[in-house]
Structures are given as structure tokens and as C-alpha cells.
Amino acid sequence: MASSALSNLMLAIHEKKTNSVDLYRPLRNYITFTYSEREAQLLEDDLETLNQLRSDVERVPDPSPSARRDLLISYYKALCLVETRFPISPEKHHVNAVSFLWHDTFKQKQKATQQNIHLEKAAVLFNLAATYSQIGLGHDRTTVDGRRQASHAFIGAAGAFAYLRDNESTKASIGQSSTTVDVSVECVGMLERLMLAQAQECVFENTIAKGSTPGVCAKIARQVGIYYEEALAALTAPPLKDHFEKGWISHVQMKAALFYSEACYRYGMELHEKEEIAEEIARLRSGSSRLAEAKKSSRGAPAQLIEAMNKLEASISCNLDRAVKENDRVYLMRVPSPASLSPLPTFSMVKPMNMTEILDASKEKMFAILVPDSSAKALSRYTEMVDDVIRTQAERLQQASELTRVRLKEMDLPDSILAVDGHSTLPADLREDVEAVQISGGPASLEAELQQLRDLKRVNQELLVHTEELLQKEATEDTQFRSQFGTRWTRPQSSTLTKNLQDRLNRFAANLKQAGESDVKIERSVRENSALMSILDRRPIESAIPSLAKPMMSLDATEDAIVGTLKQSLRQLENLGAQRAGLEDMLKEMKRKDDILPKLMTITGSYEDMFRKEISKYDHICEDISQNIEVQEQLLRQIQAQNEEFSTVFNLEDYKASREKCYNQIQAAISKYREIKENVNEGLKFYVTLQDAITNVKQQCSDFVMTRSIQCQEMIEDVQRQMSGLSFQDRRNSGPYPSVHQPTATSSPPPQETHNPSHPHPQAPYYRPPEQVSRPGYSMPPYGPPPPYQAPHGQAPQPYPPQAPQQQQPPYPSWQQGSYYDPQAQQPRPPYSAPNPYLHPPQPQPPHQGGGYYRH
């Protein structure tokens, strides 16, 4: 049969017609009512795009079927997004102002009107399939490449019809008063078979053009006939029996007969080559009979189709005559009846295109900000399901890793294997302790720190001696003047003013003595434990651990093989651990990428079905985890047996005992080092703190000595005036005593006070008597005590630093108490309060807020 004879004998489907529908306003009103005006404004572009797509679909089909196909696919995806966000139905709170009207493509007078988005989706899918059929019909099917492209287009049409049948046909008619026959399950099923028949027919024509064997051509041709026969069966049964024109039925009927006979013809050629003449005669007679029957109802059929049938009939008749003659003359075989023949073999080269990915709207961004409550709840539930899977599997992985760690520790692996190679290791916590000791300097650094203690002690002693000498010098001078002037020297004795200072200095001296005793104990402890602590100076510390040696005598010299086998098993176990880590990372990465919200926004079926499908993505990882754990169990049992043999050959128990002894020695050395180090640090801290305290007291003593020096000068001048009989006028002009800041001509200027900026404690003001105004006569005795010094308003008089209340200073803690001093001891106020010899005793002052480290 010439393929060109049938090149234009194929069918294409026309699109369904519709009327105009405004989707913009009803959907915008629903967004405003259900969500807010803000969302409506944000979705303006999406609403306009949707409305434009609908308008384009309403227009006359584009000159380019491919552009029309892309338009229908885009609009269908948009409808999937609309379906999950905008309930279109007659109900009050739904989008009830939208109605879809579509005409039947085969009977234009029939139409359906529904407030149901599934009718719209069914019609769009129908038109998409029709467009695919038009694309297929438009290819040049006189060439091999043209027939290949046409076949692909017909496959697309079959896929669109199949998708319509499985997803929308039933929904478009449920609960509605009317629908059209063309989108019914029966009609789209028939059209799917028809498109597959035409696709397979294109393949058959290419098979003939390539010169394939008669057997292959027969199988492909028979499948073409079967597809046409299935379409014919649907066309001749309700509800399609009276819905299509007779030309459709005649075309399909003749194509079915034509390709059945073509298959018989091709199969007969193969039988003739095999010299199976009897069956060849029966097949050719069956094909000829089928053609003759089809030609009886060929009224109105295309001339090309009738011509093709006549040519095929002539070819069959020629071969049949030849076969009959050969059988009568040569083979003499009995010819079976056509009814007794087995069905002809078939081979399908086509199947409906999978439209799921093509029509998948989950990646579309239209109306993405609108997430219905049902979708949000479904997403939350699915997330919980995924979390439960990951949590369960993660726990299994962790338990497997923990089991491996515990079992290996019980078998002392891999430490014992490393010891054989001279790579002994310390337990992690013990190694960290050793590293901390070595970083801090180790036992070798203790001598330098002891020297620091000695130096600080010496500095404190020298500072204390110098401070005591200051007070002693001032007391000596005071005693000399008191002896010189007798009762005229009326200021208090130094010993009464410096009692508190002297007591504090005495306590400092006692503390220094006690600290010295503690230093001696530390040095003795360092000497006595130097041998014990010397192990901490070993670098690396692992060099101090005994090694596991091979047995001295061996009968079969299998030690290396035993060690090698055990090492190999441990490497396999390590690989399993790395595999578990990778599996856990895969689970987390899969969860991170597992975003099903777009799919939830497009699904119209059961969430449960979708959840089962989506959660099954994790099944293969769960299976890998189970297999990993099972293999690990077997490997651990194998390692245990190998380790028992290893322990016996290498006398592992004795090695463990010696190694444990080494561990204990290192631990004891660390403990002793830390004890000594802590005591040394306490000593350093004590001496530094004590030095600050002594320095503070020294400053206070210096201030006291300077104040007493100024008072001494003033009193000397006063006594000298009394003894020389100065005039009353001089006394009236200058007051009873010269001011410290206004010295007489005979007095030398007082020494300037030197302030130490490192000691910010407030200093007591030097005594300055108020200036007297000369009055007539002698209203007060010339040599009486001067009136009290008046402090500025709101301040208590402070001629000298106030005297701190006495507090009992506890002795420095002994060596056995672990520190040199009490860190909670209160810091003192200025250590003394020297009352003005010319004033009444000062009132107690509030505690001073500065001072040193101790409060007494």
C-alpha cells in the first residue's frame, strides 16, 4: 500500500466555542471581602493577567496552532491556581457572579452553562487536545520527519484527552444541570483512541519507508487497526451513536478494516518466506473478506481511502492466487478456517503523552500571597509528617552511632590496635587536662613563679619598714619639741594619733610572716613532688604511655594477620559511620527543598493521597538507613570475635593494667600541679593586694607626717611669740596665731603638700584658724585656745582624715585553708584621725569611700 495514498486521510478536532466572561471584578471583590483591600491591590497585575488570558481564549484561534497551544496551557495553569483560592459556585459567600458557557464542538447548537470552574477547565483541556490534533494534521506527512512530528502531535492530543477524561470530565458534570457530550468520559476516551490510531499510523508509514521486515510492519499495522476498532466501538455506542456525523463513523470503520487487512497482507508475506503456505492463504482470505465487507458501507467515503482499499485488495488477491497455486502443486496443505486462526501479533509504538508535568501549576507565582486556611493546615500536617520521619530516622542513626561507640569502648578499640603501632592515645578528657597544664607552663614554670613570690614578699617587707620609719621619725621629733617647750607644747602626742596606723602596720607584718610560712610549704611541696610531676613535661605526652608489643614467642606467626583483619573491619565500621552522617545530611537537605505548598495550592483531590505520594520520597533513604544499621550489627559481631582472638594473642589484660597505672600517675601529677599552682596564684594575689594596702597606708602616713609638720611650724611660731612678748597690736592685726597660708615675716613658708595621683582618697584639710577682726579692747584672752574651725556650710569639720572605727582583722588564712588572705575582708578608711590640738575632738565621720584593700 502506498503511504502517499493515505497521507491526507486523517482527522483533526475543532475547538469548542464560548462567550465573554469578566473574571477581574468578581475575583477582586472576593479578595477584598475575604482578605483585605491591600491584598486586592497587590494582586491587581495577576487579576488583569488572568482576565487577559480568558479574553485571548475567547478570540478566533491564532494562525499559529503552536501559539494557541501555549496560550491554552498558560490559561489552564491559571485556572488551577484560581480553583484553590476562589470557590466559584452559586453559594452566597462564594464567587457567584461568574458563569461559564461552552458549546459542543460536534453539535454547535448544544451548550452548557455552569457556575463551576471544572467546566471551564474541561473545555480548555478539550481545546488543547484539539490544537494538538491540528498541529499534527498541519505537518507534511509525505516525509519521514514530517510524519515523526505529526505522530508526536497526535500523541500530545491523546495525552490531553486522557488527562481530561481522568481529571475533569466527571467533575464537569457532577451536581450540574447540563453538560455537553464532547467533554464526557465516553467521547474523550474515543478521541484518545482515535489520536493514538493516527499517531501509530504515522509510525507505520515510516516503518514501510525504512524497509522494515514484513513481520514488523504487520505488528505495527495491526495495532493501528486495533486503535481504530476501539474508537469505532465507542462511536457506535451511546451516547456517541447519534452525536457524530456518519462521515466520522465511515472513516473510522474503513480505517479499521484497511489496517486489519494490511496486517494480514504483511503477515502473509512473512509466512510465505517461512513456507507456511496454508496459514498464509487463510490470513489473506481473512483480510480480503474484511475489505469486501467494509466497501459495502463506503458510501460517502473519501475517494483516496477507497482507492487505497482497492490497491490493497489487488495486492492481497495477487498473493493469494500465488499461494493457492503453490499449495495445490507443491505443498498440498489443508487450509485452516479464518475463525480458527490465532490473533495477529501487535506492537504498539505510541502511548498518550504524560501531561502532568506540562500542566503542573505548582511553580506558577500567580496569586501566591493568597493561602487559604485549608492549604495552610494541610501544609502544617505534612510538615509534621516529614518531621516525624526525620526525627525517627535521626534517632535511629544516633542510637547506631552510640551503640558503636559503647561497644568499641568495651573492647578497648581502636586504642589497643593503635598501641601495637606505637600510637598510644590518652582518653580525651585526660589529654585536655595535660594540654592545659602544658599551655600554662607545666611543672618547669613553677620555679619562676616561686621566685616571683620571693620578690613580692621582699618588696612588701621593704615598703612596710619604710612606712614604720616615717611614723617613728615624726614621733621622735614630737618628743624632742615636747621636751624643749614643756607645757607650752600642747598638741596631742604622736603615739595617741598613730595608734590605729601602727596597729594596721603590725597586722601587715604578722600577715607577711604567716605568708612566708606558706611560701616555705609551697617550696617544700614543689621539691617533694617534682619527680611525680615531671611526667607532665613529656612531649608528646603519649610517649609516657607503654606500648603494646608482640608476643616474644609465636608458634604460627599469625599476629600480623590478626591485626590486619581487625584493622580492616574497623575501617569498614568507620565507613558505615560516615555513610550514616551522609544519610542524615541527605534527610535534612531533602526536607529543606521539600516545598509542597505550590502543589497544595493546585491540588483538587484528596490531601491524603498527595501526602502518601510526597512522603514516599523519603522511603529510599529510610531503607538505606535500615540496611546500614543491619550491616553494622553484623560487623560488630565480627569485630568482637576478632578482638577476642587479638586479646588472647597479645596478652591484652597485662597491657591494660600497665596503661591504667600510667593514666593514674598522670592524673595524680595533674592534681598535684593544680594544687600547687592554685596556692602559688593565691600567694601572688595576696602579695599584690597587700602591696596596694601598704602603699595606701604609707600615703596616709605621709599625709599625717606632713600635716603634723605644718602644725609643728605654727605652734613653734606661736610659742616663740609668747616667749618674746609680741605686742597686742600684732596679735590684733594677725589674729591669735598666724595662718598657715599667711606666714609671718619670721616664719618660713610651709612645705607644699604633694599629692599622689594614684591614691584618690580625700585628704583632710590642714588647720586654718578663721581670721579675726580687730576690736577695741581685749574681748578675749590673748593666749586662749582659738575658736573652732568652721567647715563650709553643710559639711562636718574635718581637720584631719577621720578616724576609722576599729574592726578586728582576721589573720591571713593558713596554708591548709588554701589561700593567703580573706578576699571578703573589708577595705579600710584612711587609717588615722589626727584631732586638731586646738579643737574639741571631732565628731565621727561617715565611712570613707576610698582606701585600700582592708578594713580594720
Q: What is the DSSP string of 573-634?
A: HHHHHHHHHHHHHHHHHHHHH---HHHHTT--S-HHHHHHHHHGGGHHHHHHHHHHHHHHHH
Assign 742 to helix, strand or coil.
strand
Assign 57 to helix, strand or coil.
helix
Q: What is the pLDDT of residues 589-616, one digit of tens each?
A: 988 888 777 777 667 667 788 888 889 9
Residue 223 lies in a domain: yes
Residue bearing the bigger pLDDT, 438 or 671: 671
Domain count, the chain: 1
Residue 800 lies in a domain: no
Residue 61 lies in a domain: yes
Residue 717's pLDDT band, with cuts at 50, 70 and 90, is confident
Are 832 and 801 within 8 A, CB to CB? yes
pLDDT exceeds cutoff 60 at 155 = yes
Average pLDDT over residues 492-512: 90
pLDDT exceeds cutoff 60 at 377 = yes
Q: What is the pLDDT of residues 517-539, one digit of tens each?
A: 999 999 999 989 988 888 888 88
pLDDT exceeds cutoff 60 at 833 = no
Identify the CA nearest to 566 among candidates 636, 633, 629, 630.
636
* Integer Cα distance of 850 and 828 in angstroms: 8
Q: What is the pLDDT of residues 420-464, one digit of tens each?
A: 766 677 788 888 888 888 888 888 888 898 999 999 999 999 999
Are 651 and 624 within 8 A, CB to CB? no
Identify the CA nearest to 821 among candidates 676, 674, 677, 685.
685
Q: What is the pLDDT of residues 173-184, one digit of tens each?
A: 876 557 899 999
Residue bearing the bigger pLDDT, 270 or 729: 270
pLDDT exceeds cutoff 50 at 372 = yes
Does residue 751 have a cis bond before it (omega within 30 degrees)? no
Domain range holding 118? 3-340
pLDDT exceeds cutoff 90 at 291 = yes
The residues facing 102 across adjacent strands are 18, 112
CATH number, residue 71: 1.25.40.280
pLDDT exceeds cutoff 90 at 322 = yes
Q: Which triple of cell numbers denotes residue 792?
A: 563650709
pLDDT exceeds cutoff 70 at 46 = yes
Residue 301 lies in a domain: yes
For the chain, the average pLDDT equals 81
DSSP 482-536: HHHHGGG--SPPHHHHSHHHHHHHHHHHHHHHHHHHHHHHHHHHHHHHHHHHGGG
Assign 348 to helix, strand or coil.
coil
Residue 782's pLDDT band, with cuts at 50, 70 and 90, is very low
Q: What is the pLDDT of residues 223-239, one digit of tens each?
A: 999 999 999 999 999 99
The residues facing 111 across adjacent strands are 103
Average pLDDT over residues 77-99: 90
Residue 5's pLDDT band, with cuts at 50, 70 and 90, is very low
Residue 310 lies in a domain: yes
How many Cα atoms within 13 Å fall on the side-chain side of residue 125?
33
pLDDT exceeds cutoff 90 at 718 = no
* Integer Cα distance of 805 and 828 in angstroms: 9
Residue bearing the bigger pLDDT, 70 or 488: 70
- Residue 331 confidence (pLDDT): 80
Residue 331 lies in a domain: yes
- Residue 628 confidence (pLDDT): 94
* Integer Cα distance of 707 and 701 in angstroms: 10
Residue 781 lies in a domain: no
User: 294 CB contacts (<8 Å, ≥6 apart)?
Assistant: 253, 254, 256, 257, 258, 309
- Residue 181 confidence (pLDDT): 94
Residue 773's pLDDT band, with cuts at 50, 70 and 90, is very low
pLDDT exceeds cutoff 50 at 27 = yes
Average pLDDT over residues 186-196: 96
Helix axes 246-273, 214-235, angle to 10 degrees: 160
pLDDT exceeds cutoff 70 at 1 = no
Angle at 338 between CA 337 and CA 343, to 5 degrees: 135
pLDDT exceeds cutoff 70 at 635 = yes
Worst-scoring range by mean pLDDT, 102-106, 186-190, 671-675? 671-675
Residue 518 lies in a domain: no
Assign 776 to helix, strand or coil.
coil
Residue bearing the bigger pLDDT, 400 or 426: 400
Q: What is the pLDDT of residues 135-149, one digit of tens each?
A: 999 999 999 999 999
Average pLDDT over residues 368-375: 78
Q: What is the pLDDT of residues 121-136, one digit of tens each?
A: 999 999 999 999 999 9
pTM score over 0.75: no
